[in-house]
Amino acid sequence: QVQLVQSGAEVKKPGASVKVSCKVSGYTLTELSMHWVRQAPGKGLEWMGGFDPEDGETIYAQKFQGRVTMTEDTSTDTAYMELSSLRSEDTAVYYCATGTRKYSSSWYYWGQGTLVTVSS
Amino acid sequence: EIVLTQSPGTLSLSPGERATLSCRASQSVSSSYLAWYQQKPGQAPRLLIYGASSRATGIPDRFSGSGSGTDFTLTISRLEPEDFAVYYCQQYGSSPRVTFGQGTRLEIK
């Protein structure tokens, strides 16, 4: 049974960066492929990027290329998502999500979400 | 780029009725890589169906998925009060690697 516990809510000013963490328990990060999804208030789900086991690398949605960095600390089984040059449109709940195995194409496990508010 | 279009945008039904939700892809999607999620207010999405038709662990059998190619369907055979939520389809495959539909809101009539 995988549990994903995310860091707490953040308030940032436009132009700043935010780094959200996702602590894995029950499995090790190396057994999973972690993805990040965000949801703006009242809007749908938007995939930001994640680990692609077929390519063996992290891939990003084109919309976020150059502004997002996803990293993993396997010593602590913690995944991170850092988004830079924040603007008001980045206000959203950010989720980490993963499947039951490394090559899962759907995500059974989700973090509780981290609200990031971008406001001057 | 694969775009997923869900219909209807909102579906108003009563408990006990049957719900049929549609997800249409702009290009063919492998059935192995089509999933459905349920999301309630203030909660993370919950995986219902993967591989187009396989129920995730713990999902009641009133939920079923079907379809292939560009047309996929989520059916809820007899609506329970807890089923009223927003439903999303998701594909995993070609560029972009992952896309979601815009969602269908299932509301109580």
Residue A92 has a pLDDT of 98
Q: Tell me if chain B has a CB within 8 Å of the CB of A113.
A: yes
Q: Which of A45, A50, A95 faces B88 most closely, judged by CB atoms?
A: A45
Average pLDDT over residues A88-111: 96
**What integer pLDDT is reported at residue A84 of this predicted model?**
98
pLDDT at A55: 86
Q: Does the distance separating the beta carbons of A62 and B99 come in below 8 Å? A: no
Q: What is the pLDDT of residue B92?
A: 94
Q: Which residues of chain B have pLDDT under 70?
A: none
Residues of chain B contacting residue A37, judged by C-beta atoms under 8 Å apart: 45, 100
Tens-digit pLDDT profile for residues A5-49: 999 999 999 999 999 999 999 999 999 999 999 999 999 999 999
Query: Looking at CA atoms only, how far is residue B85 from chain A in angstroms?
Result: 13
Instruction: Please give the DSSP secondary-structure letter assigned to residue B59.
Output: -
Q: How confident is the model at residue A54 (pLDDT cuts 50, 70, 90)?
A: confident
Touching check for B35 and chain A: CB below 8 Å? yes
Q: Which residues of B touch A95 (CB under 8 A)?
A: 44-45
Among partner residues B33, B46, B100, which is closest to A47 by beta-carbon distance? B100
DSSP character string of chain A:
--EEEE---EEE-TT--EEEEEEEESS-GGGS--EEEEE-TT---EEEEEEETTTTEEEE-GGGTTTEEEEEETTTTEEEEEE-S--GGG-EEEEEEE-SSTT-SS-SEE---EEEEE--
What pLDDT sits at residue A89? 98
- Chain A, 37 to 96: residues with Cβ < 8 Å from chain B are 37, 44-47, 50, 52, 59, 61-62, 95
For residue A101, pLDDT beyond 80: yes
The minimum CA-CA distance between A48 and chain B, rounded to whole Å, is 9
Strands (E), chain B: 4-7, 10-13, 19-29, 34-39, 46-50, 54-55, 63-76, 86-92, 98-100, 104-108
Kindly indicate the confidence band of residue A95, based on its pLDDT and cuts at 50, 70 and 90: very high
Q: Say what the pLDDT of residue B94 is.
A: 72
